[in-house]
Chain A
Amino acid sequence: MVDATPRMERDIPPAEVPELELYHPKSWWTTYVFSQDAKVIAIQYSGTAVAIGLVALVLSWLMRLQLGFPGTFSFITPEAYYQFITMHGMIMVIYLLTALFLGGFGNYLIPLMVGARDMVFPYVNMLSFWIYLLAVLVLAASFFAPGGPTGAGWTLYPPQAILGGTPGGQSWGIILMLVSLILFIIGFTMGGLNYAVTVIQGRTRGMTLMRMPLTVWGIFTATVMALLAFPALFVACVMMLFDRVLGTSFFMPALVEMGEQLSYGGGSPILFQHLFWFFGHPEVYIVALPAFGIVSDLISTHARKNIFGYRMMVWAIVIIGALSFIVWAHHMYVSGMHPWFGFFFATTTLIIAVPTAIKVYNWVLTLWRGDIHLTVPMLFALAFIVTFVNGGLTGLFLGNVVVDVPLSDTMFVVAHFHMVMGVAPIMVIFGAIYHWYPKITGRMLEDWMGKFHFWVTFVGAYAIFFPMHYVGLVGVPRRYPEMGEAAFMTAPVDNLNAFISVAALVVGFAQMVFLFNLVWSLRFGKEAGPNPWRATSLEWQTPTTPPPHGNWGDERPVVYRWAYDYSVPGAPEDFIPQNDPWPDKPATRAA
């Protein structure tokens, strides 16, 4: 057997430099509002992301009301419907998922898990949040702007995104959307540099790269990808803003709108799509990789077993991250780009299935001969595997160029990406919150509310998105507020749509139980103690819970092993913390 847990003294260099004194907050404002503590910033990021995410949740209810019961709600015009889908999509992908995984979990977990006292650039980290908040406010402002928010679809394809036939195209909607995205990317870059540099430079003694928990690997790789991918979106937004405001023609060819010749000419709408998806496809993995990492740690901890094939898991994360930069045009098989690109992008896309499948195998193999505790975090981890496998496999339909042709732009696509990058990562987010809430607050979340929340969310979300694939298979295009009569349908989809809508409302309301639990347990939850899950990684070994500014008291921990020493034969307990020198003498701690 390969020894994946090096315990050699040589992995722990002596401390050569004295620790620097941290900037310490001196007032209430600098402690809780303009805080430079990564943990406070993480809470600020998460709170903001969840708040704007609730807006997107309500928008999804409105969309489902229209789709399930077309014609019943007269205030949902086609224009309003397009505004709902656009804002729902953009908020969920960028302002909720990206911000929560990287700004929220990244900020909270990276310093604690690598044994740092804080991010390496705390001031820039603080700025990152405030610019993110500004981006969210600008985005939210578009709901109140004349003409309302943009209804261009979350992909914002020109020319329609900036023309009058689309809601918000010739009013404030699209401008505010583009400005908000530009702000988001500026804010993210400040945070992202922090996360990457902290992982590279801020690790404590003994924390080699191959001893880091997979959570850190996932967030780190996703951050590096985001730093490379977001600039493509940034320039695309700037160029479209110029097209809209200054009359340039980056993305605008000669065209006639409603009988009137416009002064644009010579631009390329497909250029925008390439820029958008050069960002957009890595974005899928920017959301997925942190989820991969976190779920690995949840499964390992709650199955009391080391993650199976740790090194393969790390390499799979890195390989998926790299490959995801050469698959973007699989979103564009029917865009009108040269059809020969299809051969290349279909091949790269299906190759990505191999490292992804390895990750899935290793998760379920971790369960094999484990000691599985069916806690709420574990339940959500299992639900992640179900929904991720389901959504990943339908990706093999859409990635295989010729199979994509009949399915693209139908509800099948909507079902696929919701399952794989909506439901699956959100399962991980829930699992992670149930898992780390005790560290953040010192109290456990109420278990029965958690189980109720889990069952309704998992079964409900599956009931929403599994049948939706078949709506697309029937041939219903996406982005239709109503299908109406159509002779080609083998069976009417009205009942199915009504069923999906009811399921969506039920799942939505179940989230209120979760929010209530978050607030209720803060006061009435069971005392958690420092390490309620008996976990190995460093964040559970802090001298104080919740950890204060600076995390580690007088001395940073020294790491002797990987993060997965569960059920080690001969060990006194079924877990050995990373900073425990067992079976060596603890004398090395003084080194």
Chain B
Amino acid sequence: MAVALILVLVVLGSILFHILSPWWWTPIASNWGYIDDTLIITFWITGAVFSAVILFMAYCVFRFRHKEGAKAAYQPESKRLEWWLTVVTAVGVAAMLAPGLYVWSQFVTVPDDATEVEVVGQQWQWNFRLPGEDGKLGKSDNRLVTFENPLGIDPEDPAGQDDIVIEAADLHLPIDKPVKMLLRSIDVLHDFYVPEFRAKMDMVPGMVTYFWFTPTKTGTFEALCAELCGSGHAYMRGIVMVDSEEDYQAWLEGQSTFAELTDARQVGAAEGAGP
């Protein structure tokens, strides 16, 4: 009796916690509402299955617990019942998988008009690079990373000269424009994770990974590292600000290109080397 009751309470408690507790995902600020929808479908289906199985079990424990003189039924199997359950399960699984794969196909198809934005992770800070007026990011290589060239941009590549370099500062993005985040690391694995955008992806040294999204709300969002990257992992935070088009242009004006930074550093180095 007590056992059956506690099993029922486990189900009720779980449902009540789910509905009443204040802990829920943060409001979305990107185009990936479909991901939230798929998650909700999954919650409904799995919640129903969990409740059904555990309540059935509780009923069995209540109804068929040992009584003096009772004897269990003898029934090795029932093909019909087993096939029936298999089919129902397969349908339930398909009902979660189909929307999941549909949304995934959107997730992996980057729209043609997406602007490229590069994120470069290192222990333990975020750097960013935007294509300059030519709309193209210059080549890069970890072998070229130096103190003066922290992102390893190829100085021989003319496309890289006008790239805008943002070292350990905030990234700004214009609202409602799709962006393709190109992800790079110069040391270990990192993962660029902004909870409001829903999307995330590891950054792997030696390759360029990506994901895309469209910011749909202006505001300040926190970027976290979501792949263990050493003892500073939890403190690797950055800021992404989503601006209106005007604010974005105003911010862009104030940024420096790779060429400007290189010149400034050379001048600075020359002055420092004076008598």
Contact = CB atoms under 8 A, between A and B. Distances in A.
Pairing of A with B: yes
Interface of A: 1-5, 77-79, 82, 151-153, 157, 159-160, 163, 165-167, 169, 253-259, 261, 265-270, 303-306, 308-312, 334-336, 339-340, 342-343, 346-347, 350-351, 353-354, 357-358, 360-362, 364-365, 367-374, 379, 382, 385-386, 389-390, 393-394, 396-397, 400-403, 405-406, 408-410, 459, 462, 466-467, 470-471, 473-475, 477, 479-484, 486-491, 493, 496, 564, 566-569, 574
Interface in B1-38: 3, 6-7, 10, 14, 17, 21-26, 34-35, 38
A76 B26 CA distance: 30
A239 to B, nearest CB: 16
Interface string B28-58: 0000001100110010011001100110110
B104 A401 contact: yes
B34 to A, nearest CB: 8
B50 A393 contact: yes
A304 B53 CA distance: 21
B39 A397 contact: yes
Contact of B97 (A269, A346, A408, A466): A346
Contact of B93 (A2, A255, A354): A354
Contacts of B50: 389-390, 393
Contact of B221 (A365, A488, A569): A488
7 contacts: A78-B234, A159-B187, A256-B187, A303-B64, A358-B82, A367-B57, A403-B39
A367 B61 contact: yes
Given A253-B204, A268-B206, A336-B202, 6 more contacts: A303-B64, A305-B72, A310-B76, A396-B46, A479-B228, A574-B72
A369 B64 contact: yes
A369 B185 CA distance: 60
B25 A382 contact: no
B136 interface: no
Given A255-B186, A487-B222, A409 B200 contact: yes
Interface residues of B, number: 99
Contacts of A397: 39, 42, 46
Interface stretch (B139-147, B156-164, B167-175, B249-257): B139-147
B39 A405 contact: no
A270 B204 contact: yes
Contact of A2 (B76, B123, B188, B201): B76
Contacts of A347: 97, 101
A481 to B, nearest CB: 6
Interface in B224-252: 224-234
Given A1-B75, A409-B226, A409-B227, A254 B221 contact: no
Interface of B: 3, 6-7, 10, 14, 17, 21-26, 34-35, 38-39, 42, 45-46, 49-50, 53-54, 56-57, 60-61, 64-66, 70-79, 81-82, 85-86, 89-90, 93, 96-97, 100-101, 103-105, 107-108, 122-123, 141-143, 145, 147, 152, 183, 185-189, 191, 193, 195-196, 198-207, 209, 220-222, 224-234
B4 to A, nearest CB: 10
Binding site secondary structure of chain B: mixed
Nearest to B143: A254
A158 to B, nearest CB: 8
A566 B198 contact: no
A370 B77 contact: no
* Residue of A402, A459, A568 with highest tally of chain B CB at under 10 A: A402
By Cβ-Cβ distance, the 5 closest A-B pairs, closest first, are A253-B206, A165-B230, A336-B209, A475-B195, A491-B22
Contacts of B220: 487
A433 B31 CA distance: 52
A358 B222 contact: no
A397 B96 CA distance: 9
A312 B77 CA distance: 9
B204 A396 contact: no
Given A310-B76, A470-B21, A569-B74, A406 B200 contact: yes
A163 B185 CA distance: 15
Contact of B35 (A372, A405, A471, A490): A405
